């Protein structure tokens, strides 16, 4: 399970909808990516979902799996605060979590975007591959990868599994800073739960 770009919100359209109230549009691709990350970390469903161009079904899936993404961000922030950014980053790299837990604190400086006409590609530390964006009217929106979403008939089971995983990650986060528990220990536990080898 990788850190798919998850957003949330039932009362806002997935980019470009005909809602009466639309959150202010970020000015460019990088700003859209940063807005999305900050919204997930804050649990701001409206701001997060407004960064995407996706179907209603996919929006609902992202809504239901957003707690998992937020849990990853919370454990990342807690680990960096307790063990120090350098030690935490080294532990993530060792456990191969560097591609799973985005670093919100460094996103401003690590996000790189290439714009070609009405399409853009953005990459940042903590995400596998890159994010594709497209300009819809005057707004830039993230275009999800086709493989980001499971088939509709599988989603119920997958969501249940993801929420159980989220609960396990929350339990691990509570052990951060405990006696004799290192950054390596925490990252190894998370990697085991996420089945990363």
Burial grade of 37 (CB within 10 A; 0-12, 13-18, 19 or more): buried
Give average pLDDT by consecutive 10-residue segment, the chain, 197 residues: 32 35 67 89 79 87 85 90 92 79 76 94 78 93 85 91 94 96 95 82
| CA distance readout (Å), 100 to 3, 17, 154 | 5, 30, 22
DSSP strand E in 49-129: where?
A: 112-116, 119-123
Torsion, CA 10, CA 16, CA 18, CA 24, rounded to 10 = 80
pTM of the entire predicted model: 0.71
What is the per-residue pLDDT for 8?
A: 28
* Residue extents of the structural domains in the chain: 29-193
Q: Phi/psi of residue 121, each to 5°?
A: -125, 125
**How many angstroms separate the CA atoms of 72 and 41, rounded?**
9
């Amino acid at each position: 399970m990788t850190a798919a770009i998850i957003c949330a919100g039932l009362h806002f359209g997935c980019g470009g909808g005909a809602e009466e109230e639309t959150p202010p549009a970020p000015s460019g691709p990088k700003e859209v990516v940063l807005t999305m990350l900050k919204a997930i970390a804050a649990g701001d469903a409206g701001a997060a979902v407004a960064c995407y161009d996706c179907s209603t079904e996919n929006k609902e899936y992202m809504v239901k799996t957003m707690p998992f993404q937020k849990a990853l961000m919370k454990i990342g922030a807690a680990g960096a605060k307790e063990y120090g950014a350098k030690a935490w980053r080294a532990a993530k790299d060792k456990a191969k979590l560097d591609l799973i837990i985005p670093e919100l604190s460094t996103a401003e400086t690590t996000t790189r975007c290439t714009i070609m006409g009405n399409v853009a590609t953005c990459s940042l530390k903590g995400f596998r591959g890159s994010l594709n964006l497209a300009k819809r009217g005057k707004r830039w929106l993230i275009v999800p990868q086709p493989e980001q979403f499971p088939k509709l008939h599988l989603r119920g089971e997958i969501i249940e599994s993801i929420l159980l995983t989220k609960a396990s990650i929350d339990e691990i986060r509570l052990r951060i800073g405990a006696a004799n528990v290192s950054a390596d220990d925490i990252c190894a536990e998370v990697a085991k739960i996420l089945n990363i080898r």
